Amino acid sequence: MSYLFEPQLVPALSIRGLEQRFPVHRIYCVGRNFAEHAREMGSEIDRGTPVFFCKPADAIVASGGRIPYPPGTSDLHHEVELVVALDKDAPAGRLGVDDADALIFGYSVGLDLTRRDLQARAKSKGLPWDTAKAFDASAPVAELLDKEAFGALATKQLWLDVNGERRQQAPLSDMVWDVPAILVELSALYRLRAGDLIFMGTPAGVAALQTGDRFRAGLDDLITLEGEIVA
């Protein structure tokens, strides 16, 4: 087989302790998974129906990356999130809760960067959020760490500092839907595949990023993501 032009390389993340890299298939994101964040955005939680949206796989940026301030916005926001990485395909049909853990390779921490002004405009007109969420370099992600290194997720603290000041912090126990529940709900809509990443939603404290800002995010002291917003 030949191609009209050279295809792009598969986006991939580094894995702590391994030379192998994790090839990214799709990025699914969960909206309104922390009640306090939903309230700060003027929404209430519908505990029966998670909100999902997607980002392109090539939106990932490795830790330490320089992230260009995106075009089309004057209100770029940070949203720090637990990231779940799958290394197995789900069986066809709706996944059982007891089967969800077997799909998970490990976890990381990421930022769901958001063009907030575009999102607000879309919301006001009942339109999709794609332009607000699915843009270039909108998904910085740290290296992956095998799930066995994490232990009980609910006890872990998710946090984000910008220019050395704490902006966001919450325990993962504050998530409305935990990881197995989200995988079950996603499996009712999509065929989950090895290489999928799931951004699990953000706690309260989202705010604007400016050119020159440096961010540092983590999950306890297990894993850290760093980067800089540049012109």
pLDDT on residue 41: 53
CA dihedral 143, 149, 152, 157 (to 10 degrees): -40
pTM: 0.95
Q: State the CB neighbour count (10 A cutoff) for residue 93.
A: 9
φ/ψ (deg, to 5) at 138: -90, 5
Q: Are strands 139-141 and 145-146 parallel, antiparallel or unpaired?
A: unpaired
CA atoms of 217 and 183, how far apart (whole Å):
24
Overall average pLDDT of the 164-192 stretch: 96
- The helix or strand, by DSSP H or E, that contains position 202, with its residue range, turns out to be none
- The helix or strand, by DSSP H or E, that contains position 6, with its residue range, turns out to be none
- Express each pLDDT in 145-158 by its tens digit: 999 999 899 999 99
pLDDT at 16 > cutoff 60: yes
Overall average pLDDT of the 167-181 stretch: 95
Which residues, 6+ apart, have CB-to-CB distance to 170 below 8 Å?
34, 36, 157, 158, 203, 204
Q: CA dist 12 to 109, 119, 141, 144, Å?
A: 15, 28, 10, 10
- Express each pLDDT in 198-215 by its tens digit: 999 999 999 999 999 999
230 in Cβ contact with 211 (< 8 Å): yes
The burial class, CB within 10 Å (0-12 / 13-18 / 19+), for 190 is: middle
- Express each pLDDT in 26-75 by its tens digit: 999 999 898 765 565 556 666 678 999 999 999 999 999 999 999 999 99
pLDDT on residue 227: 98
- The helix or strand, by DSSP H or E, that contains position 143, with its residue range, turns out to be none
- Express each pLDDT in 73-114 by its tens digit: 999 999 999 999 999 999 877 898 889 999 999 999 999 999
Which residues, 6+ apart, have CB-to-CB distance to 227 below 8 Å?
61, 63, 64, 65, 66, 67, 111, 140, 214, 215
What pLDDT band is residue 10 in, cutting at 50, 70 and 90? very high
- Provide the terminal-to-terminal Cα distance of the chain, rounded to the nearest Å: 40
pLDDT on residue 1: 84
